[in-house]
Structure formats: structure tokens, C-alpha cells
């Protein structure tokens, strides 16, 4: 654990220096230390900031640790830096993904158990009630839409209300991928218009076909789809394994920030 904490801090510190980030000299705790604390909480403690603060305030780590409220305010103020760090990592994974094969899928992120939906305070409208076909159960919360490389590194993700259809989320992806990329998906991503638009820029979207599809695929291509689809499912399982039974948050922004931290630590885990 000690080695990984040091690597995380060095990575955050070098990242901030590389983008020319400046901070107030009067800050008791550097932004690199704040980012490191947030990442450690997601990596080891299910995004429980308090446990990460308790560990890292020891003299050998960060003896000038901020209080709970000040740490939360500071983290939300620099949350855009986490997006920038993820973007840099995503570009790295794209370069290393020489075969240019990608997979996409969605994963439910419940904000509470179904029995507690009527008492949920973070989200309160019906558009957050979704259905997971693979598990045959409803959930209340967000959907995580994620695009990963053939070895499981996430290169793009976003969150939508739980009721958002997968094919609707397909239109939100930016698909900033190299020319010649192939994207695999399940049957929910059958949209001929999107396929044709991506084909014009040299990107091939190849989801599993429905029985009544007008664009049939040969059997050998279906085998490739099944093979490469396993990586995005594995990536989703790794994120779900890190998720605690209940993500503690009092605002939508706080809840979404913690989900983003889980995705970022999945990306960082390929470096640690």
C-alpha cells in the first residue's frame, strides 16, 4: 500500500506540474495531496474520505491534513483536474491499443435499495428508476456508460439517469478514436444511423444483431464480438467490486464525483 500511495502522489504532482497548475502558497495542503487522498479513498476505502484522511494524516504521509468539511470543499473545487487526468490517461491507452478494438456497455449505479426509493433525497424523480435486463431487477440511481480498450482500460465514460436507454446514450459518446477503430457492443446499440455516421469518419460500430436485423453478420464475426465483449464486462465487474453497499453522499454532485473516482482508479490500476 505504501508504494502505491507514493506512486499516486508522484503521478498527481507531476500531472499538475505538466499542465502548469498554480495554487495559493498559503494553502495548508497542496492540490496534489488532496487528489491523492481522494484516489486513495476510492482505491482502498470505497470512497470513504474520512478513512483515507485518518490514514494519510500520519506524519509519514500528510501531517497537515485538512478537516472533513474543508477537504470536501477543496476537492469539489478542483474536481475538474480529475477529468483532465482521466483524459490524459485515456489518450495514453488509445496509443497503446494498437489493434484499435474497443467495447462499450452500461452499468447500474444504485443510489439506494429499492425499498428506500420513497425516502431518497439525492435523486427524487422517476427518470432515475432504471431496469437491468441481465439481473432482471429494477434499480434507482444512475447509469454508467463506458467505452474501454481491448485490455479493459476506460477511455470514455459519462453518467445518465437510470431510465436512459442504452441506444440513447450511444448518441452522447464523442467517439474520439483513431481512424480504423472497431467498437463492439450488445444488442441494445443497434442504431443504423449512428453506424453510418461513424463509418464516414472511419470508425466501425459492430453490435450484436437482433433476430430481425437487416444487417446480418457472419458467424466468425459473432465469435469476435463475444471475445472482445468480455473486457468491458470485466471492467464493469471491477468497478462494481469497488463500490460499497452504499455510497455516502448528500448532493448529486458529491455522488457523481465518487462514481467518477471509481472509474479513474480503474484506469490508474493499470499503472500501479
Q: Indicate whether 27 pLDDT > 90.
A: no
Q: List all residues 6 or more positions away from 223 whose beta carbon is below 8 Å from its beta carbon.
A: none
The reported pLDDT for the residue numbered 44 is 93
DSSP-derived letter for residue 108 is E
The reported pLDDT for the residue numbered 220 is 65
The reported pLDDT for the residue numbered 142 is 94
How large a percentage of the chain has pLDDT more than 70? 99
The better pLDDT of the pair 179, 211 is held by 179
Q: Indicate whether 36 pLDDT > 90.
A: yes
How large a percentage of the chain has pLDDT more than 90? 59
Confidence label for 48 from pLDDT (cuts 50, 70 and 90): very high
Alpha-helical (H) ranges within 119-180 are 166-170
> What is the rounded average pLDDT for all residues in the chain?
89
Residue 172 contacts residue 106 (beta carbons within 8 Å): no
Between CA 57 and CA 227 the distance in angstroms is 45
Between CA 213 and CA 73 the distance in angstroms is 50
In this predicted model, what pLDDT tens digit does every residue of 57-94 receive, in sequence order? 888 889 889 999 999 999 999 999 999 999 999 999 99
Confidence label for 30 from pLDDT (cuts 50, 70 and 90): very high
Lookup: cell for 150: 481491448
**Model pTM score:** 0.91
In this predicted model, what pLDDT tens digit does every residue of 192-226 receive, in sequence order? 999 999 999 999 998 888 777 778 777 767 777 77
Q: Indicate whether 270 pLDDT > 90.
A: no
Cβ neighbours around 99 below 10 Å, total: 12
The better pLDDT of the pair 185, 218 is held by 185
Topology of the domain comprising 99-251: Nucleotidyltransferase; domain 5 (3.30.420)
Q: Indicate whether 246 pLDDT > 90.
A: no
Domain boundaries, the chain: 2-77, 99-251
Ramachandran quadrant class, 179 (left: phi over 0; alpha: psi -120 to 50; beta: rest): beta
In this predicted model, what pLDDT tens digit does every residue of 119-142 receive, in sequence order? 888 998 889 999 888 778 889 999
The reported pLDDT for the residue numbered 115 is 82
Q: Indicate whether 235 pLDDT > 80.
A: yes
Amino acid at each position: 500500500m505504501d508504494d502505491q500511495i507514493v506512486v499516486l502522489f508522484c503521478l498527481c504532482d507531476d500531472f499538475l506540474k505538466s499542465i502548469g497548475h498554480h495554487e495559493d502558497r498559503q494553502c495548508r495542503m497542496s492540490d496534489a495531496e488532496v487528489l491523492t487522498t481522494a484516489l486513495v479513498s476510492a482505491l482502498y476505502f470505497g470512497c470513504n474520505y474520512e478513512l483515507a484522511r485518518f490514514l494519510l494524516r500520519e506524519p509519514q504521509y500528510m501531517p497537515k491534513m485538512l478537516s472533513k468539511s474543508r477537504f470536501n470543499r477543496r476537492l469539489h473545487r478542483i474536481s475538474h483536474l480529475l477529468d483532465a487526468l482521466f483524459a490524459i490517461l485515456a489518450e495514453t491507452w488509445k496509443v497503446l491499443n494498437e489493434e484499435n478494438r474497443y467495447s462499450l456497455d452500461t452499468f447500474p449505479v444504485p443510489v439506494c435499495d429499492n425499498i428506500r426509493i420513497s425516502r431518497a433525497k439525492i435523486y427524487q424523480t422517476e427518470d432515475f428508476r432504471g431496469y437491468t435486463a441481465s439481473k432482471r431487477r429494477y434499480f434507482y440511481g444512475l447509469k454508467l456508460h463506458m467505452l474501454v480498450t481491448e485490455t479493459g482500460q476506460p477511455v470514455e465514460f459519462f453518467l445518465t439517469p437510470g431510465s436512459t436507454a442504452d441506444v440513447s446514450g450511444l448518441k452522447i459518446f464523442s467517439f474520439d478514436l483513431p481512424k480504423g477503430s472497431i467498437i463492439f457492443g450488445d444488442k441494445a446499440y443497434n442504431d443504423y444511423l449512428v453506424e453510418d455516421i461513424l463509418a464516414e469518419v472511419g470508425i466501425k460500430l459492430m453490435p450484436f444483431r437482433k433476430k430481425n436485423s437487416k444487417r446480418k453478420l457472419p458467424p466468425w464475426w459473432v465469435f469476435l464480438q463475444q471475445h472482445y465483449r468480455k473486457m468491458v464486462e470485466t471492467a464493469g465487474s471491477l468497478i462494481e467490486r469497488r463500490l460499497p453497499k452504499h455510497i455516502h453522499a448528500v448532493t448529486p454532485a458529491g455522488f457523481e464525483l465518487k462514481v467518477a473516482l471509481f472509474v479513474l482508479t480503474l484506469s490508474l490500476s493499470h499503472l500501479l
